[in-house]
Amino acid sequence: MNFISHLLGIPLGLLMWAIFSVIKNYGVAIAVFTLVIRLILVPISVSQQKSTASIAAIQPKLDKLKKQYANNPNKMQEEQMKLYQEENINPMASCLPMLFQLIFLYGVFDVVYRPLTHVLRIGSETITALTEAAAPLFEGNSYFNSRPELYILQAVNEHPEAFSGIGISQDILAKVIDFSQNNKLFGVIDLGAIPDVVFQTNISQWTPALWGLFLIPIATGVIQLAMTIYSTYKQKKLNPEASSQMGGMNIMLYGMSIFFIYITFKSPAGLGFYWICSSLVGFLQTFILNKIYTPEYVAKLIEKDKLKNKNKKRSAFMEKYNEMLQEQLKQNGNAGSRPSPNVRRDSETGEDIKLSKSQMKDYERKIIAEARRRQAEKYGDEYSEDD
């Protein structure tokens, strides 16, 4: 899993470095970083919203299928998939944003846990030397090996003497010290600090910094709970039947709020702050998309897409039809050797027959009808003589 985090952390780390290079404030850089990631995910969020609203728009048809095949679940599922295909709806599209957010989160973990690598762009050899110098200060600490760069930031402030004479330039050391002193949110909350560790070692006095470390995990849980309540409300409004069948799922979603609190207590405050920013932006984004992509509006989009696809199909059909018509006329009329346009060769006797204007029209009409019938069969369309 570390390999995946490190791999995803490379592009996200470059993004964070670029933002921090301009802003020079770690807390604000995280907020902007979150906004950029959310903007990248906008097309996927729009797709999710359209998919959710599309399913709500065709709900009457789905209900009809459920009643029609109530005693045949396999057939019902087959017909549902046919309906989704006809309406050009991907029922799994609503899962994509969650999947991509999870993927991005692994990269964000790496960026937050390794600020010296990603934000300050310090080389691996220098970080190894800093880690070896800081290790004796945190002997017995089980967290040190998994997040050494965060402990280095703590050590350069509390024990700067430990880093003298280890072959690191003063410029780099000054850079690390400056970052460790200025990576605080609102100038108070250390975004590299881990609430759980801090509360185990230093809870004698509730300073503003401790209050901040305590409130960040609580805020992530509260915002997650608010998003769950809002999503459940919208789901119930759009699709009451599906909502009533998601009782166990809803309980799990509410339980996620507690899980978020637990995770952010065990993680650097920077990750919790990222989560808060991401959830707030996501909440606002979802609210706006719900206002735009209503079931009524999406139903119109579905009809427009169906009409567009139908026209494309018809256009392709007409091209093929014209080709076949020319070929049929050529074969039946023996083009190039017939004496006049209204002369046709009888297929049975081989003799040329001169046709009247009405007979000629009937003849061409039959050829056109035959060409259309063949094309309709090829493309799976219905054909009638009235077309």
Mean pLDDT, rounded, for 59-71: 83
Q: Are residues 230 and 212 in the same domain?
A: yes
Select from 285, 231, 227, 287 the least CA-distant residue to 39. Answer: 285
pLDDT tens digits, 257-273: 888 888 888 888 998 99
- Quick one: pLDDT band at residue 338, thresholds 50, 70, 90? very low
Q: What is the pLDDT of residue 116?
A: 93
Question: Where is pLDDT greater, at 137 or 374?
Answer: 137
Q: Are residues 278 and 301 in the same domain?
A: no
Q: Are residues 136 and 259 in the same domain?
A: yes
Domain limit, last residue, from 253, 270, 293? 293
Q: How far is CA 83 from CA 49, 56, 296, 381, in A?
A: 19, 13, 18, 17
How would DSSP label each residue in 312-367? HHHHHHHHHHHHHHHHHHHHHHTTTT-SSTTEEE-TTT--EEE--HHHHHHHHHHH
Q: Are residues 278 and 323 in the same domain?
A: no
Looking up tokens 């999870």 gives 102
Q: How many domains does the chain have?
A: 2
**Domain span including residue 249:** 2-293
pLDDT tens digits, 184-212: 888 888 888 888 877 776 666 778 888 88
Mean pLDDT, rounded, for 308-320: 57
Domain limit, last residue, from 262, 293, 324? 293
Q: How far is CA 276 from CA 5, 49, 78, 163, 270, in A?
A: 21, 22, 42, 35, 10
Q: How far is CA 154 from CA 1, 38, 137, 158, 321, in A?
A: 26, 31, 10, 6, 76
Across the chain, the runs of DSSP E, i.e. the strands, are 184-185, 189-190, 343-345, 352-354
Q: Are residues 263 and 306 in the same domain?
A: no
Q: What is the pLDDT of residue 309?
A: 63
Q: Are residues 192 and 320 in the same domain?
A: no
Residues facing 353 on adjacent strands: 344
Q: What is the pLDDT of residue 353?
A: 61
Is the pLDDT assigned to residue 239 strictly greater than 80? no
Mean pLDDT, rounded, for 147-155: 89
Q: Is residue 385 assigned to a domain?
A: no
Q: Are residues 194 and 307 in the same domain?
A: no
> How far apart (Å, rounded) are the C-alpha atoms in residues 232 and 285?
16
Is the pLDDT assigned to residue 121 strictly greater than 90? yes
Range of 86-95, 139-148, 260-269 with top mean pLDDT: 260-269
